[in-house]
Amino acid sequence: MKYKKTAVITGASSGIGRAIAKSLAKEGTHVYITGQSQEKLDLVRSEIQSLGGTVDASAFDIRDIAKLQNFIQQAKEQTGHLDIMVNNAGIHIHGKIVETDPESWRQMIDVNILALLVGSQAAIRVMRENPDNEGGHIINISSGNAKEPGKDFYGSTKHMVNALCETLTQELADEPIRLTNIMPGAVATNFGRSADPAIIQGLATKLGMNVEIKKGEHLSDELLKRIHAAMGQIFLSPEDIANAVMYALAQPKNVVMREMYLCAPKVYLGKDFSF
């Protein structure tokens, strides 16, 4: 079976990755999605299939280099081409450097930087084999925190992502492989998994929801929808980021959207919102 396009999306079991996968599938792209939870990936698969899309899903630790490389290779071998690679997986472990366990730095480096590099390298290698020298498009999801690399260690890892995107852009200048770096600001997604549960609990209470928030657990879709509905001037939605991805991909081949910085209006104005 021939597919219009093929895409690989990491971190696609929820939030931004899920929204990107669904948007691409709606346009007829066969999506290969990965994340840590097979159960959550199966839910995303069902959503995509209900929309008439085609999808393959596999759960594994993004830090496993061989598995990530094989997953990307599999997408190309099964469909004959790889057109889009979305490096979306990321982790934000909050805390001051002087107070955090060095293992948290390793996790952020391995997921935010190394996995992105491995995914980009593997995608470039198979995109070079695409029929008719069609090339492809790599989308890296960085963060608005990259604009403030001194804020915390997470911001520093995303600042390096931006630098790596610049390096790859230079390396690929003479090839038909485009690269876009997208930096979202605050998004109503599972940012709460690594935040102080008391902060998220307070926000849920203000929104009239009687729920128990535990550190490390995914926030419910209902809570995320309420956050965005009540605070849309502060938080973007995952769909906002997916729309940006689709816009970048829709540009003609002689146009490269090298960098996009997205944030809600009041965040952009430098307002301080605490809850």
Q: Which residues are catalytic?
A: 154
Nearest 5°: the CA angle 212, 217, 222 is: 65
Alpha helices in 53-210 (DSSP H): 65-79, 102-108, 115-127, 153-171, 197-206
Contact of 10 with 71, CB cutoff 8 Å: no
Burial of 254 (0-12, 13-18, 19+ CB in 10 A): exposed
How long, in residues, is the chain? Answer: 275
Angle between helices 15-26 and 38-50 (to 10 degrees): 30
Which residues contact residue 207 at a Cβ distance below 8 angstroms, ignoring those fewer than 6 apart? Answer: 223, 226, 227, 230
Q: Give the whole-angstrom CA distance, residue 13 versus residue 7.
A: 15
